[in-house]
A and B are shown apart, each in its own frame.
Chain A
Amino acid sequence: MVWDRNQMAARAAMELKDGYYVNLGIGIPTLVANNIPEGMTVTLQSENGMLGIGPFPYTDEVDADLINAGKQTISELPSSSYFSSSDSFAMIRGGHIDLTVLGAMEISEGGDIANWMIPGKMIKGMGGAMDLVAGVKRIIVVMEHSSKNGDPKFIPECTLPLTGKNVVDMIITDLAVFQRPDHDSPFKLIELAPGVTAEEVRSKTTANYVE
């Protein structure tokens, strides 16, 4: 039984702590917002210039001036604040954001991440991803363990252009969780999805890691 998208997001949510300021990427990471533990105060940052992202608005409260970084309409909270893009990335680059959860196409055993560009295909740009992985205190990647073709995504060296070098702290896939205590240590397999064995993970992973 592999973890589904929401279960992967729920697993990432277990890394949240009371008082954290967090930036969530687009896709599965966005689902982390639905899994914040009851009673815990977690403030979500949107890199287009907002702290304290509220839920999607009611139809009659939609405001074109109030969107998240995925350009979706959102709402504000009593604790929200707004600021410019330069202030937003000062927060990010300056190491003031506690945690970010991002998707990825490839992760290397040395903690490199590739998630913005496939050469030969239309390139859309890195948006804020390079700034996030360079500046946020802790980087969690949530991704499928294998690509649609069945190729491993946690590999010895990234083949795609990097978003950041030696920046990832934790990897949550549909099969397992890997973590490393610092950027000089190898990743360690710390958790398996129900019914998934360490052997299965090993057979579907080309990256070197500690068991």
Chain B
Amino acid sequence: MQKIYSDAASALDGLLFDGMTIAAGGFGLCGIPERLIDAIQASGVKDLTIASNNAGIDNEGLGKLLRTRQVKKMISSYVGENKEFERQYLAGELEVEFCPQGTLAERMRAGGAGIPGFYTKTGVGTLVAEGKEVKNFDGEDYILERGIRADLSIIKGWKADESGNLIFRKTARNFNQPAATSGKICVAEVEEIVPVGSLDPDSIHVPSIYVKRLVLGAPYDKKIEFMTTRERTAA
């Protein structure tokens, strides 16, 4: 079983269709599957529903798919810093389901774990609870949230071995881990593909069973949204 594809377009071959739901990893521009997003843009597939914590920024990340009007609906917790998103949203051209960040992560995790719904106290008594079942457990109210079972997951990892075992680096893990399990099929792009046996089996973040297709995305020019630094003080 060969999981490694030569480029992002071939890794997505046969998987894309209009109206599909995609779960995407990343937080802001950190750990976003940028090669796969580019390939989805180039494919022209449209009417996408995308579950992703953020929607990229203007012309970076998922912002690229917004610009080309390929997205019908976003399921996200935070969509600031994105002018084109704002324009489409205010013009009623883009549907947005605001979902609390932790609820979104758990919806992806649960969907991938065969759990169609779960109760959470996040959002009780707020707009998020509207139309949702409320159930009282031990004197406290909880709302029913649905798991997300996407048609496709797109994630960005640091290293993967040739069998698809994958690890992340620092805070680039974020939504990539739950997103990986949410889709019926997961395509991963990574910075480095290493021979089987190179990664410590005790340290795998996403076991190979989830990663069906793998593409080497390097070299990356990782973007930083807000550069904050401190000065070295003289010793």
Q: Which residues of A contact B (CB under 8 A)?
A: 46-50, 55-59, 62-74, 76, 82-90, 92-93, 112, 117, 122-131, 134-135, 161-166
Contacts and interface: CB of A to CB of B under 8 A. Distances in A.
B125 A71 contact: no
A86 B106 contact: yes
Nearest to A162: B126
B5 interface: no
A124 B80 contact: yes
Main secondary structure of the interface of A (DSSP, over half): loop
A84 B228 CA distance: 23
B199 to A, nearest CB: 16
A48 B30 contact: yes
B128 A125 contact: no
A56, A123, A124 interface centre (most CB from chain B within 10 Å): A124
A100 to B, nearest CB: 13
B190 to A, nearest CB: 13
Given A67-B30, A128-B102, A58 B122 contact: no
B234 interface: no
A122 B126 CA distance: 18
Given A86-B108, A127-B77, A66 B229 contact: no
Interface in B55-102: 76-80, 86, 89-90, 96, 98, 100-102
A62 B224 contact: yes
A67 B28 contact: yes
B122 A135 contact: yes
B100 A48 contact: no
A78 to B, nearest CB: 14
A122 B232 CA distance: 39
B120 A134 contact: yes
B228 A56 contact: yes
B160 to A, nearest CB: 16
Given A47-B101, A56-B230, A71-B225, A86 B122 contact: no
A134 B122 contact: yes
Contacts of A49: 27, 171, 173-174
Contacts of A90: 106
Given A89-B105, A125-B79, 16 more contacts: A47-B102, A48-B28, A50-B171, A58-B229, A62-B227, A67-B171, A68-B171, A73-B224, A73-B226, A84-B105, A84-B178, A85-B174, A86-B106, A122-B86, A135-B121, A166-B125
B120 A125 contact: no
B102 A88 contact: yes
Contact of A85 (B89, B101, B127, B231): B101
B100 A64 contact: no
A163 B172 contact: no
Nearest to A69: B27
